[in-house]
A and B are shown apart, each in its own frame.
Chain A
Amino acid sequence: MNDFPVLTTLGVLPFIGALIVAALPRGRELLAKQIALIVSLAMLVLTVAIAFAFEPDAAEPFQFVEKTPWIEQFGISYAVGVDGIALALIAMAVSLAPVVILSGWNDADDNERHRPQTYFALILALLGCIVYVFVATDLFLFYIAFEVMLFPVYFLIGMFGRGQRTYAAVKFLLYSLLGGLLLLAALIGLYVVSAQQLGTGTFDWTLLAGMPIDPDTQKILFAGFFFAFAVKAPMVPLHTWLPDAATSATPATSTLLVGVLDKVATFAMLRLVIPIFPDASEWAAPFVVTLAVISIIYGALVAIGQTDMYRLIAYTSVSHFGFIILGIFAFTEIGGSGSVVYMVAHGLSTAALFIVAGYLVKRRGSSLMPSFGGVQRVAPVLAGFFLFAGLSSLAMPGFASFVGELTVLIGSYQRWPVAAAIAVIGIVLSSLYVLIMYQRVATGPATENVKGMRDVFPRELVAFAPIIALTIAVGVFPRPIFDVINPAIERTYSFLNVDPVEPDVPASDAIEREVTD
């Protein structure tokens, strides 16, 4: 590994891109879009290079580490690095970036008050924040990125959204700030504890993880961290900002928000909550698992009852986040690795759903399902994409989401059989919300509403094709992802004190006996 600051490059690149794009004068909209696309593609290339240089089985927790003292009085440093989990999520985020930019190419063209330049600059800035959240190994740097991230989203919804966009943007911001405030308070508390334990206070993950903390203090700090992430994830009952945000935002924003940005929360549960508060995590696990299962079932049931496609997709995500959190708090390797694959898969399936729904809404001017009907008759390819996105959401085997869902269920059953058995009902509910949506929008005779609706045009096709390719690739051959994340998951759970799960009748023993007999 050479000393080239590759992660900083990856993180700063979109910010530079954002500044350039924002500075472009009126009339240069196309150039702005092109620059945004080029920057996102450059990030993708850089990430691919990082992935190839990454050594999954390295001994140290983080690779491509950079560390420079920043605010020395408070033990804050600019420290970045990636483990397998962060790498997988960055790869997912960066793969979606060009897709989102391409699919949202004309999102801001009709906006009377704000320029496309601003739109794409905000998207790039958001991408920069997302990278920093995943690469930060200093908790203060993480917090900064976590909070700053809110503002591009806020403006993306508030300036470029539709309908009750201001209400949705404010709701999103207030929720997030409330969570962020608690996170900040807990972070300070952690800093204070670290000062007591280590002599000097620090925000350095490598020092904080596994640091002995008094159990009661752990519980309090855990609560602060967990609340912030439960809002972001979002878990029932802290989820109601999401449907409003998703309904008002552009599909590109929703994809980044729900598909990528919200993963920060589940990522942080693995990265921060479990290694730093292992005792409290074990203590709270039954509660968290219960909430996760409620989210799975509740989110799916409410999704079934929606009439607005965007709201429906948002609620499916509430359900899916329940699966992810269930997997994380299973404290088994299968559950943990499964949850990370689920995060990647959910990014892909959510992107697929929002983007196709966006194509439909753009044509019809409404996101209400009754405004459609019979799309398959007039735009068969578009309907096919819609079905593909739906199947991805309901975890059809061969699709990425199946890998995540199955492994999460297996892994959580090992530790929490009852919870996992209830969660399985989610597979029936997901088939209902997906197929009901497809039936209402795409099947039946072509209604007056959709007469003359154009099928997908080339730009839309090019934007959507990579999602199909990635979804199938991960679904059929997920092994490279597992190879990268397994060691990181193992390290994460090594901070815990739980009993490892062993099969009752290990089949490998039985086969050996047969062979030797």
Chain B
Amino acid sequence: MSAATAVRWSEGGSQVISEASGMFGLTWLLIALPLFGAIVLLVGGRRTNSFGPVLATLLVGFSFVLGLVLFFQMLGQPGEERAFNQSLFEWAPIGDFSVDVGFQLDPLSMAFVLLVTFVGGLVHIYSLGYMADDPDKRRFFAYLNLFVASMLLLVLASSYVLVYVGWEGVGLVSYLLIGFWNAKPAYATAAKKAFVMNRVGDIGMSLAIMLMVTTFGTTAFSGVFAGAPEASSGALLALGLLLLLAATGKSAQLPLQAWLGDAMAGPTPVSALIHAATMVTAGVYLIVRSNPIYNLSDGAQLAVVLVGVLTLLFGAFVGTAKDDIKKALAASTMSQIGYMILAAGLGPAGYAFAIVHLLTHGFFKAGLFLGAGSVMHGMDDEVDMRRYGALRKAMPITFITFGAGYLAIIGIPPFSGFFSKDKIIEAALADNIWVGIAAILGAGITAFYMSRVMFLTFFGQKRWADETHPHESPRSMTVPMILLAIGSVVLGAVLVIGGRFVSWLEPVVGPEEEHDFAIPVLAITAIIVAVSLVGVALAYVMYLRRPVLVEAPTGSVLTRAARQDFFQDAFNESLFMRPGQYLTRFLVFFDNRVIDGFVNGSAAAIGGGSARLRRWQTGFVRSYALSMLAGAVLVVGVLVLVRL
């Protein structure tokens, strides 16, 4: 193998991809450690009950440490030379086509490795406390380990086929964990819904892979991106749209968003790790990774922007109406990922900020979910915020860490979300004024619904029953919350100030495009913060100044619609599910009566009536078969004689 392949992607980054050597030769171990844990816990069964959860947690910890070591090694390399390829074996070699099981560790995948193993590790630790009394705790940790392994495979894969393997892997674990408590039928349905909707997105992934092989003869990143500039614009547009379809499924974007709210059926640590911080952001990763394709197709980029904008507003509106704390946060996740998708659709101006927001969101949203879990833990698993109130005294640590996440998500400087969201909105404004305005509006609504969550939960009057005794959670839960809160405070500044992350990611996505505004950037920032503060004020008036009803009021038409997720389920049911059920019912009838009926009818006719058919069924078929065989031989003989 050649030592290094220089890859210069159209308008995008340029990096020298060299064979992984030295410490980088251990890239595979990042995945192997949690995978090993999953196998031990699943195959070992009950024997591993005692030590399994701790082992799983340690393995993810090791993965994180290894990732950290590799990160510092990578920092020691010049920017262009931070990409490493590790090829393990050929998976499916057919003629000129082959799929390598190989990994690509570069600044983009490195960012994900650290996010996934760090947040993943914290969620493991948190779960030691949260799931302490669950009889299936071991299985839970096995799935968590499997998730970390799959997610790392997804981001480290060096070809689309291998991305697809990780992609389906995280989808499977998501299914298993949403349905972890599937003794409740509704939870089992939620799990199935998530998997099936993701599979609809996977149509896009499959077709993209098929189209890639037809167009480029490979699905390896290096090959596809090198060939992209010469591909037809139709092929590039198709690839962009197909990958976007895949992304909408995994990242719960319109039109495949409906599964995420129901996915909150899973245990709360799962919601934090999988359905907020990591898996649902895989769509953003996919688009940013595929930047050489999107850069070449304005049409595909436009579609990405549209999906992002629509979803960020959709999620934000839904978030304003939910009384279930987890569902409010889920709507918020959808909306925040909308921001990331929007940024990714803006091209080189937005790729880096999509990832920055993804990372800061990974911290503050995981923190918010773990905080919500902590509240539920202290409130006998109550999720209705209308039955919370005034919890800041009973749960001070939860209150402070949740508060840090809250200030981060609504973009109050200098919390982390401020830096990442601000940059996305600026880039959006530069691209198109209306897109920018929509993004600012979204920020205002975000501030409103998150303030609503905050006020309903921690402020105001207590609205819980007397027999409820809210209490702070154990150390194993609060420590991860504290660490995530620290990230929520500082990460944005660390990544954005001085353009640190932008230059870190430049080899992968190219240099950031500068944009000019008619007004000073600082003024734009001020407007964004002002709009957010209006949202906070509105929530203050509505939920702190006025008494909160324990039973949700009927609300306006719009509130009711948002509470119902704008009728997404009714829409899907009437358009796909019911017609599908009628179709399958009809086809079953058709198959039994028409096709099989025809066969049986004609068999009876040929056999001279059903009487004889019945006789065959009593065991004489042997003689019948023999006579048929004899007849066949006779036919043969005649044919031969006549022809010869």
The stretch of B177-185, B361-369, B398-406, B419-427 in contact with A is B177-185
Q: Take A192-B640, A398-B169 as given contacts and tell me if A505 and B215 are in contact as well, using a CB distance cutoff of 8 Å.
A: yes
Interface pair A413/B192, CB less than 8 Å apart = no
When chains A and B are docked, how far (Å) is the Cα of A464 from the Cα of B376? Answer: 41
Q: What is the chain B residue whose CB lies nearest that of A397? A: B165
Q: How many residues of A contact B (CB 8 A)?
A: 88
When chains A and B are docked, how far (Å) is the Cα of A381 from the Cα of B8? Answer: 51
Interface pair A413/B214, CB less than 8 Å apart = yes
Interface pair B183/A443, CB less than 8 Å apart = yes
A181 beta carbon closer than 8 Å to chain B: yes
- B-facing residues in A138-153 (Cβ within 8 Å): 147, 150-151
Interface pair A170/B632, CB less than 8 Å apart = no
Q: What is the chain A residue whose CB lies nearest that of B42? A: A384
Q: Take A407-B94, A479-B92 as given contacts and tell me if A167 and B617 are in contact as well, using a CB distance cutoff of 8 Å.
A: yes
CB distance from B416 to the nearest CB of A (A): 34
- A-facing residues in B93-108 (Cβ within 8 Å): 93-97
CB distance from A153 to the nearest CB of B (A): 12
Q: What is the chain B residue whose CB lies nearest that of A490? A: B95
The stretch of A32-40, A257-265, A270-278, A297-305 in contact with B is A297-305
B73 beta carbon closer than 8 Å to chain A: no
Q: Take A173-B625, A191-B640, A398-B169 as given contacts and tell me if A333 and B226 are in contact as well, using a CB distance cutoff of 8 Å.
A: no
B172 beta carbon closer than 8 Å to chain A: yes
CB distance from A305 to the nearest CB of B (A): 4
The stretch of A104-112, A123-131, A508-516 in contact with B is A508-516
Q: Mark B620-632, 1 if CB is under 8 A from A, else 0.
A: 0100010011001
When chains A and B are docked, how far (Å) is the Cα of A479 from the Cα of B90? Answer: 7
Interface pair A504/B232, CB less than 8 Å apart = yes
When chains A and B are docked, how far (Å) is the Cα of A490 from the Cα of B97? Answer: 13
- A-facing residues in B205-247 (Cβ within 8 Å): 206-207, 209-211, 213-218, 220, 222-224, 226-227, 229-232, 235
A370 beta carbon closer than 8 Å to chain B: no
Q: Take A188-B640, A302-B591, A305-B584 as given contacts and tell me if A505 and B89 are in contact as well, using a CB distance cutoff of 8 Å.
A: no
The stretch of A44-52, A354-362, A418-426 in contact with B is A418-426
When chains A and B are docked, how far (Å) is the Cα of A174 from the Cα of B607? Answer: 11
Collect the chain B residues with CB atoms within 8 Å of residue A268's CB.
Answer: none
- B-facing residues in A479-517 (Cβ within 8 Å): 479, 482-483, 486, 490, 501-511, 513-515
Interface pair A508/B188, CB less than 8 Å apart = no
CB distance from B359 to the nearest CB of A (A): 27
- A-facing residues in B580-619 (Cβ within 8 Å): 580, 583-585, 587-588, 591, 595-596, 599, 603, 616-619
Interface pair A439/B189, CB less than 8 Å apart = yes
Collect the chain A residues with CB atoms within 8 Å of residue B616's CB.
Answer: 170
- B-facing residues in A376-422 (Cβ within 8 Å): 376-377, 381, 391, 396-398, 402-403, 406-407, 409-411, 413-414, 417, 420-421
CB distance from B627 to the nearest CB of A (A): 10
Collect the chain B residues with CB atoms within 8 Å of residue A477's CB.
Answer: 89, 91
CB distance from A424 to the nearest CB of B (A): 5
CB distance from B607 to the nearest CB of A (A): 9
CB distance from A372 to the nearest CB of B (A): 13
Interface pair A391/B172, CB less than 8 Å apart = yes
CB distance from A407 to the nearest CB of B (A): 6
Q: What is the chain B residue whose CB lies nearest that of A164? A: B617
Interface pair A514/B92, CB less than 8 Å apart = no
Q: What is the chain B residue whose CB lies nearest that of A381? A: B45
For B222, give its contact among A403, A428, A446, A511 (CB under 8 Å).
Answer: A511
CB distance from A303 to the nearest CB of B (A): 9
CB distance from A237 to the nearest CB of B (A): 5
The stretch of B119-127, B196-204, B273-281, B317-325 in contact with A is B196-204
Collect the chain B residues with CB atoms within 8 Å of residue A173's CB.
Answer: 621, 625
A334 beta carbon closer than 8 Å to chain B: yes
A374 beta carbon closer than 8 Å to chain B: yes
When chains A and B are docked, how far (Å) is the Cα of A479 from the Cα of B580? Answer: 39
When chains A and B are docked, how far (Å) is the Cα of A169 from the Cα of B624? Answer: 13
CB distance from B406 to the nearest CB of A (A): 36
CB distance from B204 to the nearest CB of A (A): 9
A255 beta carbon closer than 8 Å to chain B: no
Q: Take A192-B640, A237-B595, A397-B165 as given contacts and tell me if A504 and B93 are in contact as well, using a CB distance cutoff of 8 Å.
A: no
A371 beta carbon closer than 8 Å to chain B: no
Interface pair A181/B209, CB less than 8 Å apart = no
A92 beta carbon closer than 8 Å to chain B: no
Interface pair B95/A486, CB less than 8 Å apart = yes
A207 beta carbon closer than 8 Å to chain B: no
A240 beta carbon closer than 8 Å to chain B: yes
For B628, give its contact among A166, A181, A188 (CB under 8 Å).
Answer: A181
B565 beta carbon closer than 8 Å to chain A: no
B24 beta carbon closer than 8 Å to chain A: no
B525 beta carbon closer than 8 Å to chain A: no
Interface pair B183/A445, CB less than 8 Å apart = yes
When chains A and B are docked, how far (Å) is the Cα of A158 from the Cα of B621? Answer: 10
CB distance from B41 to the nearest CB of A (A): 12
Interface pair A409/B584, CB less than 8 Å apart = no
Q: Mark B134-152, 1 if CB is under 8 A from A, else 0.
A: 0000000000000000000
Q: Take A432-B196, A505-B227, A511-B222 as given contacts and tell me if A240 and B603 are in contact as well, using a CB distance cutoff of 8 Å.
A: no
B1 beta carbon closer than 8 Å to chain A: no
Interface pair B617/A510, CB less than 8 Å apart = no
Q: What is the chain B residue whose CB lies nearest that of A502? A: B217
When chains A and B are docked, how far (Å) is the Cα of A237 from the Cα of B619? Answer: 27
For B89, give its contact among A167, A185, A420, A479 (CB under 8 Å).
Answer: A479
Collect the chain B residues with CB atoms within 8 Å of residue A185's CB.
Answer: 632, 635-636, 639
Interface pair B199/A410, CB less than 8 Å apart = no
When chains A and B are docked, how far (Å) is the Cα of A158 from the Cα of B622? Answer: 11
CB distance from B284 to the nearest CB of A (A): 21
Interface pair B220/A398, CB less than 8 Å apart = no
A284 beta carbon closer than 8 Å to chain B: no
Interface pair B90/A170, CB less than 8 Å apart = no
Interface pair A184/B45, CB less than 8 Å apart = no
Collect the chain A residues with CB atoms within 8 Å of residue B164's CB.
Answer: 397, 406
A41 beta carbon closer than 8 Å to chain B: no
Collect the chain B residues with CB atoms within 8 Å of residue A482's CB.
Answer: 92-94
Interface pair B213/A334, CB less than 8 Å apart = yes
A215 beta carbon closer than 8 Å to chain B: no
CB distance from B396 to the nearest CB of A (A): 38
Interface pair A431/B183, CB less than 8 Å apart = no
When chains A and B are docked, how far (Å) is the Cα of A411 from the Cα of B191? Answer: 32
A11 beta carbon closer than 8 Å to chain B: no
Interface pair B210/A409, CB less than 8 Å apart = yes
Interface pair A503/B215, CB less than 8 Å apart = yes
Interface pair A515/B182, CB less than 8 Å apart = no
A154 beta carbon closer than 8 Å to chain B: yes
Interface pair A298/B183, CB less than 8 Å apart = no
Interface pair B183/A444, CB less than 8 Å apart = yes
When chains A and B are docked, how far (Å) is the Cα of A457 from the Cα of B55? Answer: 28
Collect the chain A residues with CB atoms within 8 Å of residue B5's CB.
Answer: 511, 514-515
A180 beta carbon closer than 8 Å to chain B: yes
When chains A and B are docked, how far (Å) is the Cα of A499 from the Cα of B632? Answer: 39
For B207, give its contact among A381, A414, A424, A443 (CB under 8 Å).
Answer: A424
Q: Take A397-B168, A507-B216 as given contacts and tell me if A301 and B587 are in contact as well, using a CB distance cutoff of 8 Å.
A: yes
When chains A and B are docked, how far (Å) is the Cα of A127 from the Cα of B91? Answer: 31
Q: Take A397-B168, A406-B161 as given contacts and tell me if A334 and B97 are in contact as well, using a CB distance cutoff of 8 Å.
A: yes
A-B residue pairs in contact (CB < 8 Å), sample of 18: A150-B625, A189-B639, A237-B595, A305-B585, A334-B97, A402-B168, A413-B207, A431-B199, A435-B191, A479-B89, A486-B95, A502-B217, A503-B217, A504-B231, A507-B222, A507-B224, A514-B6, A515-B6
With A413-B211, A479-B93 given, name 20 new contacts (CB 8 A): A173-B625, A181-B628, A184-B632, A298-B587, A305-B584, A397-B169, A406-B209, A414-B213, A417-B210, A424-B207, A425-B203, A427-B202, A443-B182, A443-B185, A479-B89, A490-B95, A504-B214, A506-B216, A507-B218, A508-B96
Across the A-B interface, the 10 shortest Cβ-Cβ residue pairs = A507-B223, A503-B217, A305-B584, A443-B188, A413-B210, A305-B588, A397-B165, A510-B226, A240-B596, A507-B216
